[in-house]
Amino acid sequence: MRKSINNANIKSSSESNSPKTRSVFKRMIRISSVRIGGCIILFFIFIAIFGPLIAPYDPTKLGVAERLLYPTWDFPFGSDALGRDILTRVMFGARITLYIGIVSISIGLLSGLIIGIFAGYAGGWVQAVLMRSVDFLYTFPDILIAIGLVAFFGPSLTNTMIAVGISLIPYYARVTYSVTLVERNKPYFEAAQAIGAGRIRLIFRHLLPNIIPPIIVVGSLGFSAAVLSAAALSFLGLGAMPPTPEWGKMLAENRDYILLAPWVLLFPGLAIMLTVLGFNILGDGIRDLLDPRLRKDIR
Amino acid sequence: MNRHINNQPILSIKNLRVIFSGEFGEAAAINDVSFDLFPKETLAVVGESGCGKTVTALSILRLIQSPQGKIEKGLIEFEGKNILKLDTKSLYRLRGNKISMIFQEPMTSLNPVLTIGRQLTEVLVFHQNITEKEAQNKTIEMLQLVQIPDPKNCLQQYPHQLSGGMRQRIMIAMALLCDPRVLIADEPTTALDVTIQAQILDLMLEIQEKLGTAIILITHDLAVVANIADRVVVMYAGKIVEEGKVKEIYNNPRHPYTHGLLKSLPRLDNLNENNKEIRLTEMPGLVPSIYTKRIGCSFAPRCPLGTERCRIEEPLIKTVINGHRTACFEWENIN
């Protein structure tokens, strides 16, 4: 009786559970948040790649007669104070904004992850030195660090991304550090030591997979902060230079017209919001995918 | 009975002292602990919570958390080598290979994000020069030995998909994969219910029979000890207070603490001459904090036989009858 039940169980589970027959991709699209977030991000990536080809106008062409027009069929998102078509600028801006966001997040996230995980694992003076330096950075507002760095290296888009990335390090280092502390005090870590795992193995095989899921979620949330920091730098004349259609820059340039012509802010703002939302939902889904405890599709 | 009498001990601990520094200053979690473990025997370490059982076990594998904890002095000899003096590489090769450990909490001692298969084969791959495939076969064999139904499927599962008893079996399998000479089982059954407990203990003994492993069983369950151990070490407040063969200890305890422990065990036949139930005896008082300064015997404040001498002078552990050691001045007056 018991045997047969067991066998039945085994059969059904091995059918639905063999990792080779179901690819990672198939597993991914089973999670609805990955589907939704992925669609949003894919849409923006599509715009980033093909936007320049399908955009109706030239993003930098000025038009004295077309200043601050309502959204109409000719100008679906309206036009800005210099008579440029906002739809066109939003489409052109997708490429540059995604690029800034992704690069600066990657810099901040990777460095923060490495610092946090080593500080948390090593403890003692290594931890003290690393985390105190991070705290030192943390005491300054991110934007101030970014301004300082850009001023030091000279204003350019690359330097802006590096500066924004560095200003994000303390945040990610802190989060990683606290997660690492929690994980390394769990019994499985001690058990891994007891079976003779060396340092590298402990960090990369046992700690890292447990740390990545929460960090991915935090990282996807950070995208908006990165885009806005980059925009602020552009606004101060330290990042993307004026005619460049970067979303954050568009917000900064046009904020005076918010009462007169809200659409000049509305559409770039919506674009930022949707991208951030997409990254968030996708991040959430990927977390679910990476964390076997939350994986719903097994059994 | 005396199967180890001519044997060399496989593991020998001498004068081990481990200190922890906390906000109340330094404290010795264990002090002057010495005992031997012989091949193929089961040695039980008993005592109440906080008496240093787990610390003793962890120091054998040098897993005491630094910088708070430190092995201050002592010697842990395994196959003629002092573990405390090993370099990191040899230490990694020792852990899980020659000496392995089963932890208290089966629910959390497995890495939640790795499959059972990966965690088990990992042990084999880095301790023995074998391929992934061979490791997998050996793992499946071991899972059969610990009576996991359908081991092949189990390899692809994650810890949260298994019950506590299953996870503890996995932990045992993991500890035994490399045929260790010494297995340290730190309360392997406390998190499990009684039926599973019996199964797990039987399993450990069976495997000991098969592989010739020496077991250090850390527990506070005296009934378990009576069933499966060959010898017993009784610890109190970081020290060994009594050591001897199971029968000796149970029939003729030579330390008032052991005596008290045994008397406080519930029994089914606890009726007195008039067929009235006897109230369960208890030991008054609590274990002293390791942070308090102690003079004399640590057990003296709770001891029914305590004398003036016990409060001033500390009794050293000495052999009283062959193989039976106790740290008590009044050992002749017990019973």
* pLDDT (tens digit per residue) in A123-144: 888 889 999 999 998 888 878 8
Exposed/middle/buried for residue B51 (C-beta within 10 Å: 0-12, 13-18, 19+): buried
Residues in B touching A210 (Cβ below 8 Å): 111-113
Tell me what the mean pLDDT of segment B103-124 comes to. Answer: 86
Task: Evaluate whether A267 touches A86 at the Cβ level (below 8 Å).
Answer: yes
pLDDT (mean) for B303-318: 87
The closest of B191, B181, B215 to B110, measured between CA atoms, is B191
Q: H/E element holding B13?
A: strand B11-22
Query: Which residue of A10, A188, A198 is in closest CB contact with B109?
Result: A188
Strand B81-82 versus strand B69-78 pairing type: antiparallel
Give mean pLDDT, residues B204-226: 87
Q: What is the pLDDT of residues B69-94, one digit of tens each?
A: 889 889 999 988 899 999 988 998 89
Phi (first) and psi of residue A136, to 5 degrees: -60, -45
Q: How far is CA B184 from CA B61, B176, B213, B216, B217, in A?
A: 10, 11, 10, 5, 6
Q: Rounded to whole angstroms, how far apart are CA atoms A125 and A36? A: 45
A256, two tokens: 């005076």
Please write the tens of the pLDDT for every residue from B16-71: 999 988 777 788 888 889 999 998 899 999 988 888 888 999 999 998 887 788 89
Contact A292 B160 (CB under 8 A): yes
HEC string of B26-73 equals EEEEEEEEEEEECCCCEEEEECCCCCCHHHHHHHHCCCCCCCCEEEEE
Q: Is the pLDDT of residue A299 over 50?
A: no
Q: Given a cut of 70, is residue B13 above it in pLDDT?
A: yes
Tens-place pLDDT, residues A233-258:
777 777 777 777 888 778 877 878 88
CB pairs under 8 A between A and B: 89
Q: What number of residues does chain A have?
A: 299
pLDDT of residue B245: 92
Would you place residue A178 in the very low, low, confident or very high pLDDT band (cuts 50, 70, 90)?
very high
What's the whole-number average pLDDT of chain B? 85
The span from the CA of B241 to the CA of B33, in Å, is 10
Chain B residues whose beta carbon lies within 8 Å of the beta carbon of residue A14: 153
User: Are the beta carbons of A194 and B95 separated by less than 8 Å?
Assistant: yes
Comparison of pLDDT for B292 and B303, the residue scoring more = B303
Q: Which residues in chain A touch residue B105, judged by CB atoms under 8 angstroms apart?
A: 187
pLDDT at B284 over 90: no
How far is the C-alpha of B41 from the C-alpha of B213, rounded, in Å?
8
Per-residue pLDDT band at A70 (split at 50, 70, 90): confident
* Interchain CB distance below 8 Å, A196 and B123: yes
ipTM: 0.75
Q: Are B170 and B162 in contact (CB under 8 A)?
A: yes
Average pLDDT over chain A reads 79
> In this predicted structure, what is the pLDDT of residue B65?
81
Contact A198/B92, CB-based, under 8 Å?
yes
**How many residues belong to chain B?**
335
**Helices first, then strands: H and E counts in chain B:** 11, 12
Under DSSP, is residue B245 helix (H, G, I), strand (E, B) or coil? strand
User: In a mutagenesis test of the A interface, which of B109, B139, B147, B179 is the best target, namely the one with the most A β-carbons within 10 Å?
Assistant: B109
Chain A contact present for B149, CB below 8 A = yes
Smallest Cβ–Cβ distance between B109 and the set A19, A187, A298 belongs to: A187
Cα separation of B109 and B94, whole Å? 20
Higher pLDDT, A214 or A82: A214
pLDDT at A216: 83
| B104 contacts on A by Cβ (under 8 Å) | 187
Of B100, B110, B153, the CB nearest to A188: B110
Q: Cβ of B94 and A196 within 8 Å?
A: yes
Contacts of B19 (CB under 8 A, 6+ apart): B26, B27, B28, B29, B69, B70, B72
Q: Which of A16, A127, A195, A296 would you mutate first to test chain B, the one with the most B CBs within 10 A?
A: A195
**Structure-token pair, residue B268:** 């089914």
Which of the listed ranges A63-77, A264-278, B271-285 does the model predict with the highest average pLDDT?
A264-278
pTM beyond 0.90: the answer is no
Please indicate whether, in this complex, the C-beta atoms of B96 and A210 are within 8 angstroms of each other: no
A298 and B158 in contact by Cβ < 8 A?
Answer: yes
A112 vs A8, residue with greater confidence? A112
Three-state secondary structure of B190-238: CCCCHHHHHHHHHHHHHHHHHHCCEEEEECCCHHHHHHHCCEEEEEECC
For A116-128, write each residue's pLDDT tens digit: 999 998 888 888 9
| Proportion of chain B above pLDDT 90, given as a percent | 21
Q: Which residues of A touch B (CB under 8 A)?
A: 6, 10, 13-14, 17-19, 123-124, 186-188, 190-198, 201, 205-206, 209-210, 290-293, 298-299
Contact yes or no for B110 and A191 at CB 8 A: yes
Q: Which residues of A66-84 are buried (b: 16+ CB within 10 A; e: fewer)?
A: bebbebeeebebbbbebbb
CB contact under 8 A, B95 and A17: no
